C-alpha cells in the first residue's frame, strides 16, 4: 500500500503572514516536520499541498513534492478534509495518507515509524496523535445565571495527586493517518481506530497554545535535528566577507581598502573562545591586513582557492569529526563546507544556494550580528547535548 505523507500549508494566515515558512530556531516552520517525515523512511512519497510559490520553493528545498491546491480548498473556511480529498483525486496511487500538521515542530521520525506500523502491519484504518494531560475539568456556566459549576473529572473532596492519577488523553493535532476509503467517505477517523500517545515535550502546537519565542526554546530542547547525533562543537569556521563583514569594500582616494564589522560579532567570537571553542576564518581574497587590524587572535586562511580543502586540512590536523565542526558561510564557494560541517549556518542575506545547504538561517545579515547570533545558536545546541548526556 502506498503511504504518503501530506503536509497542508496554505499561504494565507490570519495571525502570522506566511507562518508555515517563518523561521523557527533557524529553520522554516514546515521544514521541521518535513525533515522528520523524510528521515522516518516509511513514506513512499512526501507531499506539501499549498497555493503559494514561496511555500512551494521551501518544500522542494527540504525534499518534498508539491501539490498545487485549487483556490476552492484554499479559503479560510476550507477544511483539512477537503484539501486531503482534493489531493487524493489527483494522486490515485496513494492508498494511505499521513496528514502531518506543519505547526508541530517537535515531531520525531520515531513516532511516525510506529504509527506506520500500526496502520500497515496491525490493520488499523485510522491512527491519530494524542497527548496525556493532567487537568481538572469543570462545567461551563453562563454569567449572571443561578446555576453552579460542577466538577467533570474529579471529586473536590478527594483531589488526585498528579502521581496518583493517570490523566486523560487529548488530541494534539500533530498527525492523522487514514486509509483512502475512509477519506473518500468523509472521515479522517473511523473504521478500526487507534490513538498514538506522544510525549508531552514533543506535543507542541504553535497554533493553539504557544507563542514563537517559547516555541523556539521548546524546539531547541526537544526538536529533531537530523539523523546524525549532535556532538559538542569544538571549532567554528567563519567566512570573512559576507559573514564577519557585510561584504562591502570601501576604497579611499589613496587606494586603501576598508571594511566595517559589528562589535556584537566580536563579542560572540570571544564568548566562543571562552567556552573552549576554537574560531578560525577563511576568505577567497587576501584580507590579512584587515584581520590584523581587527586583532581577533584567530587562525585564518586567506586567498583560499578551495575552501573545502582548507576545512578538510584543519579537520584532520585537529583530529575532529565533522560533527564537531560548525561552519558559517554565505556564498556558493561555501556550499560544500556547509554540507560537510555537523552544524552549518548562513546570514539572512546569504545567496539562495547557500541557504539551501545550511541547517540554520540567521535573522541577522552579514556584518550585522550574524556571527553573534550563530554563536548563541551553538551554545543553545550545546545545552541540548549536555542535557542528553545527563539523561
Q: 28-43 pLDDT, tens per residue?
A: 999 999 999 999 999 9
Confidence band (pLDDT; 50, 70, 90) for 15? low
- Point out the residues that are catalytic: 159
Burial of 264 (0-12, 13-18, 19+ CB in 10 A): middle
Prediction pTM value: 0.76
Average pLDDT, the chain: 90
What is the rounded distance in angstroms from the CA atom of residue 304 to the CA atom of residue 307? 6
Evaluate whether 84 touches 183 at the Cβ level (below 8 Å).
Answer: yes
What is the spatial distance between Cα 335 and Cα 198, in angstroms, rounded to a whole number? 36
d(CA 348, CA 361): 6
17, pLDDT greater than 80: no
Domains of the chain: 3-222 (3.90.550.10), 235-389 (3.40.50.1000)
Residue 388 has pLDDT above 80, yes or no: no
pLDDT per position as a tens digit, 79-96: 999 999 999 999 999 999
> Is pLDDT above 80 for 386?
no
- Residue 153 sits at the vertex; the CA angle it makes with 147 and 156, to the nearest 5 degrees, is 70
pLDDT in tens, 254-303: 777 777 788 899 999 999 999 899 999 999 988 877 777 777 889 999 99
Euclidean distance between CA atoms 254 and 251, whole angstroms: 8
Amino acid at each position: 500500500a502506498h503511504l504518503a505523507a501530506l503536509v497542508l500549508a496554505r499561504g494565507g494566515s490570519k495571525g502570522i503572514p506566511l507562518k508555515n515558512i517563518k523561521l523557527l530556531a533557524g529553520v522554516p516552520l514546515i521544514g521541521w516536520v518535513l525533515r522528520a517525515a523524510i528521515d522516518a523512511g516509511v513514506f513512499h512519497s512526501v507531499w506539501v499541498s499549498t497555493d503559494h510559490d514561496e511555500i512551494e520553493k521551501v518544500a522542494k528545498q527540504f525534499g518534498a513534492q508539491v501539490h498545487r491546491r485549487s483556490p476552492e480548498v484554499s479559503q479560510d473556511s476550507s477544511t483539512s478534509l477537503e484539501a486531503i480529498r482534493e489531493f487524493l483525486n489527483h494522486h490515485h496511487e496513494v492508498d494511505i495518507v499521513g496528514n502531518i500538521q506543519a505547526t508541530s515542530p517537535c515531531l520525531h521520525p520515531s513516532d511516525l515509524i510506529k504509527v506506520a506500523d500500526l496502520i500497515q502491519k496491525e490493520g488499523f484504518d485510522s491512527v491519530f496523535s494524542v497527548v496525556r494531560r493532567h487537568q481538572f475539568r469543570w462545567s461551563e456556566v453562563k454569567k449572571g445565571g443561578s446555576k453552579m459549576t460542577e466538577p467533570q473529572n474529579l471529586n473536590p473532596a478527594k483531589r488526585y495527586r498528579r502521581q496518583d492519577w493517570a490523566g486523560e488523553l487529548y488530541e494534539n493535532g500533530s498527525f492523522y493517518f487514514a486509509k483512502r476509503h475512509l477519506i473518500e467517505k468523509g472521515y479522517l477517523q473511523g473504521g478500526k481506530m487507534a490513538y498514538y500517545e506522544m510525549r508531552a515535550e514533543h506535543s507542541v502546537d504553535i497554533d493553539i497554545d504557544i507563542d514563537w519565542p517559547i516555541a523556539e526554546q521548546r524546539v531547541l530542547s526537544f526538536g529533531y535535528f537530523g539523523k546524525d547525533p549532535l556532538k559538542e562543537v569544538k571549532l567554528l569556521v567563519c567566512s570573512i566577507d559576507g559573514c564577519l563583514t557585510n561584504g562591502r569594500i570601501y576604497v579611499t582616494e589613496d587606494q586603501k581598502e576598508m571594511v566595517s564589522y559589528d562589535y556584537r560579532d566580536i563579542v560572540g567570537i570571544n564568548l566562543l573562545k571562552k567556552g573552549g571553542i576554537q574560531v578560525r576564518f577563511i576568505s577567497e581574497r587576501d584580507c590579512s591586513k584587515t584581520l590584523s587590524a581587527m586583532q581577533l587572535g584567530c587562525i585564518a586562511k586567506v586567498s583560499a582557492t578551495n575552501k573545502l580543502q582548507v576545512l578538510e586540512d584543519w579537520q584532520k590536523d585537529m583530529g575532529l569529526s565533522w560533527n564537531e565542526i560548525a561552519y558559517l558561510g554565505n556564498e556558493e564557494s561555501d556550499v560544500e563546507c556547509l554540507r560537510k560541517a555537523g552544524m552549518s549556518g548562513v546570514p539572512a542575506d546569504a545567496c539562495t544556494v547557500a541557504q539551501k545547504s545550511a541547517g540554520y538561517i540567521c535573522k541577522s545579515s552579514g556584518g550585522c550580528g550574524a556571527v553573534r547570533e550563530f554563536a548563541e545558536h551553538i551554545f543553545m545546541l550545546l545545552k541540548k547535548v549536555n542535557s542528553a548526556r545527563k539523561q
